Every structure is written in structure tokens, then in C-alpha cells.
């Protein structure tokens, strides 16, 4: 499988996130045959082995913020409150948010969440 790049969805805070180095020019989601690489500027990056992604689901509802937020392995990396997809990761992988972090759940906002979930395939 050749690598496919997906874009984060941005909303009203796009300008602010761009000014802070987390906008579309410095952020991307890349899915290859063996890994998912997620990067939101300088604020977050993780490489998740595809074999470690045990579940994927569209997520709706209220989010806990815009940008990069996390605690105890659960991370929200988003530019908008819509287009959210949540991945369960087991075993947890290592990510980086200035310092190393564990990632066992990752929620991201995507421009095209359906295409991403289809490309990822069934879990």
C-alpha cells in the first residue's frame, strides 16, 4: 500500500493554531502499509503501528478543547470539534508532546473521516 496523506479539519481557531505552528502547513496524518504517522506541528507527533490499532470509530459530542490535549494515554489532537475519529491502540505506542507520552487512545479531527476509516480498514 502506498502512503496516503489526510488533512486535519480546522474550524474557527485555524488562524490561531497556524500562528502557533500547529496549522495545516505543519500538520498531517499519513497512513502507510505498516504505520500511521500523526503530526500537529511542534505540539504532537506519534507513529502508531497499524497492527496496534484495535478499534476505529467516528466520534460525536463535546470535545475537551482544540489543539493538543491528553492525560493517561488518551489524546485529543484536533483543529475542530467535527470530523472526529477515535483510535484504540494496544499495545500503547510512544508519542511526543514536547516530552515523551504514551498513546493508548487517539482522537483526531479529519477533513474526510469516512475516507480515513475506509483506508484504515476493518479492525
Q: Could you list the mean pLDDT of each consecutive 10-residue stretch along the chain, which spans 123 residues? A: 92 93 96 96 97 95 86 95 97 94 97 96 78
What domain count does the chain have? 1
pLDDT at residue 63 in the model: 80
| Structural domain of 102 | 4-120
Q: For residue 62, how many C-alpha atoms fall within 13 Å in the half-sphere facing its CB?
A: 1
pLDDT given for residue 17 in this prediction: 94
The pLDDT score that the predictor gives to residue 16 is 93
The pLDDT value given to residue 47: 97
Q: Which pLDDT does position 68 carry in this prediction? A: 95
pLDDT at 2: 86
CB 9 within 8 Å of CB 107: no
Q: Burial letters for 67-105: b for 16+ Cβ neighbours within 10 Å, e otherwise?
A: bbbbeeeebbbbbbbebbbbbebeeebebebeeebbbbb
> In this structure, what are the phi and psi dihedrals at residue 82, rounded to the nearest 5 degrees?
-115, 165
Beta-ladder partners of 56: 87
Amino acid at each position: 500500500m502506498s502512503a496516503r496523506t489526510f488533512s486535519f479539519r480546522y474550524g474557527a481557531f485555524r488562524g490561531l493554531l497556524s500562528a502557533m505552528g500547529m496549522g495545516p502547513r505543519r500538520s498531517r496524518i499519513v497512513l502507510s502499509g505498516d504505520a500511521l504517522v500523526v503530526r500537529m506541528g511542534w505540539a504532537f507527533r506519534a507513529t502508531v503501528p497499524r497492527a496496534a490499532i484495535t478499534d476505529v470509530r467516528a466520534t460525536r459530542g463535546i470535545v475537551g478543547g482544540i489543539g493538543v490535549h491528553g492525560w493517561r494515554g488518551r489524546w485529543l489532537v484536533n483543529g475542530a470539534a467535527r470530523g472526529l475519529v477515535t483510535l484504540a491502540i494496544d499495545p500503547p505506542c510512544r508519542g511526543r508532546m514536547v516530552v515523551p507520552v504514551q498513546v493508548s487512545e487517539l482522537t483526531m479531527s479529519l477533513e474526510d473521516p469516512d475516507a480515513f476509516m475506509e483506508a484504515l480498514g476493518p479492525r
